[in-house]
Structure 1
Amino acid sequence: MREHTQQNVAIKGTKDGLTLVLNDQCSYEELLAELKDKLASTPVEMDRSLLVDVRLKTNYRYLNEEQEEELKELVRKEKNLVVTAIDSDVVSVQKALQWHREQQIERLVKVVRSGQVIETPGDLLLIGDVNPGGTVKAGGSIYVMGALRGTAIAGASGRKDAVICASVMQPMQLRISEVVSRPPDTHQEEQTMECAFVDEGADQIRIDRLQILAQAKSKLMKLERGM
């Protein structure tokens, strides 16, 4: 009975180039040797004058910077291949800490005065006012339990699903991700808590009562669940 030899490198052709799936259970030296042999023996049926994009999928193998460069250099030496991306299921300590910070809600009790800037990587819950000339900025959403009369920047990390809520919504400027809005000149006489969010259909910021946002989110969740 023939002994089964585990394949440490699998080469898959895609419309964008090649994907090299690397086994994360073997030693790094074994992986390197097999990768070299596979690249030397596998024909690449493409225009030799063009570079072929290669994506490395390392699964749960951790690679340090030196090993990443060694793999890239090995691929570069073979034919007309160039590594454009390395996909890994390993989360570095730095990325894990960043993700943790972005999920946190920072709670502050203060008045943000003119010239002051409050910034947080996650959500911001401010109990107090934001005066004209003051700025609050968050990677996630912003909730102001008071009057928002300054500038609020939510979704600074690129999140268009972030929202800006305030008990009194009279801002100088609102921004969610890259979408910027200036408020209307007139305000409701009866102050109710309002919320600003990106209307995806129009790609602009919409301000409405908090209940409207809750209804919209509820409908979206039902659609996502197929209800």
Structure 2
Amino acid sequence: MIDDSIIIKGNREGLNAVINMNKFKDVDEMLDSLIEKLSRGRVFYKGATIKITTQLKHINERELRRLKDILFDEFLIKDCIFENSEETITKVFSGVYEGRTKFIKRTVRSGQIINYPGNLVIIGDVNSGAEIYASGNVIVLGALRGYVHAGYEGNSKAIVAAFYLQPQILQIGDVATRAPEDNIKPQYPEVAKVRGNSIIVEPYLPNKFI
């Protein structure tokens, strides 16, 4: 009998993985199966982009982070794109400026989690090990070194900006990437946004429209 619970195929753009969550009793079982399948071609995946299509309603944010950690740390995947196989039409945010905004006037420390259905402006640092989730944009008036997911309802037009943009993992909409390993840390504000199927980071220019 053919096992179609996880199907992985390669193309010019990288890897496509289709995961049928209905075939697994829980996320742990799915992760074990995915690791087993990816391990067979581990040497080919370094620096690749992977697109994962699955029923995202079965996977919460913490479990998604575990999945991304495995892909980035164990298989050295460069970028990860998630596509919901049961995509809904309604989106709360569809651009950069719309929606309500929450201000946090303190440093977000390791182990702390901030989750807000709107834009987040953090006046302080986001330390390594902290987690930030916003359905809108994330602006940090300080150093961003933790995990950040902007546009978590699928808004690929959201942005992440910080005085010092050094996140462990950065995700906008359905596109995720990890910090580069070149140890180059610019001492000026930067803005991250999605272009095509990748996240790009640019210096913040006051007179340039985002």
Q: TM-score, normalised to structure 2's length? A: 0.51
> What is residue 208 of structure 1 aligned with on the other side?
202
Q: Residues 67-87 of structure 1: CA distance to partner in whole angstroms, max 9, x if unpaired? A: xxxxxxxxxxxxxxxxxxxxx
* Residue 192 (structure 1) aligned with residue 188 (structure 2): yes
1:195·1:213 contact (CA, 8 Å) conserved in 2?
A: no
Name stretches of at least 5 consecutive residues in structure 2 with no aligned partner: 1-89
* Residue 119 (structure 1) aligned with residue 115 (structure 2): yes
Question: 1:214 Cα deviation (Å)?
Answer: 2.8
> What is residue 152 of structure 2 aligned with on the other side?
156
1:1-227 aligned at under 5 Å gives the runs 103-188=99-184, 190-200=186-196, 203-211=197-205, 214-215=208-209, 217=210
Q: Per the alignment, do residues 130 and 117 of structure 1 end up closer, same or farther by CA in structure 2, a change over 3 Å counting?
A: same
Q: Per the alignment, do residues 139 and 213 of structure 1 end up closer, same or farther by CA in structure 2, a change over 3 Å counting?
A: farther
Q: Distance in 1 between matches of 2:178 and 2:207?
A: 19
1:180·1:205 contact (CA, 8 Å) conserved in 2?
A: yes
1:134·1:150 contact (CA, 8 Å) conserved in 2?
A: yes
Percent sequence identity over aligned pairs: 35
Q: TM-score, normalised to structure 1's length? A: 0.47
Larger proportion of helix: 1
For the pair shown, the structure with the greater C-alpha radius of gyration is 1
Q: Distance in 2 between matches of 1:190 and 1:157?
A: 30
Q: Per the alignment, do residues 189 and 103 of structure 1 end up closer, same or farther by CA in structure 2, a change over 3 Å counting?
A: closer
User: Cα RMSD between the aligned structures?
Assistant: 2.3
Q: Distance in 2 between matches of 1:140 and 1:107?
A: 13
Name stretches of at least 5 consecutive residues in structure 1 with no aligned partner: 1-94, 218-227
Q: Distance in 2 between matches of 1:115 and 1:150?
A: 10
Q: Per the alignment, do residues 170 and 189 of structure 1 end up closer, same or farther by CA in structure 2, a change over 3 Å counting?
A: closer
Q: Per the alignment, do residues 212 and 173 of structure 1 end up closer, same or farther by CA in structure 2, a change over 3 Å counting?
A: farther
User: What SS class does the counterpart of residue 214 from structure 1 fall into?
Assistant: coil
Question: 1:114 Cα deviation (Å)?
Answer: 1.1
Q: Residues 17-71 of structure 1: CA distance to partner in whole angstroms, max 9, x if unpaired? A: xxxxxxxxxxxxxxxxxxxxxxxxxxxxxxxxxxxxxxxxxxxxxxxxxxxxxxx
1:159·1:177 contact (CA, 8 Å) conserved in 2?
A: yes
Q: Distance in 2 between matches of 1:137 and 1:209?
A: 23
Question: 1:115 Cα deviation (Å)?
Answer: 1.0
Q: Alignment length, in residue pairs?
A: 116
1:170·1:187 contact (CA, 8 Å) conserved in 2?
A: no
User: What SS class does the counterpart of residue 119 from structure 1 fall into?
Assistant: strand
2:166·2:185 contact (CA, 8 Å) conserved in 1?
A: no
Q: Distance in 2 between matches of 1:210 and 1:187?
A: 20
1:133 counterpart letter in structure 2:
G
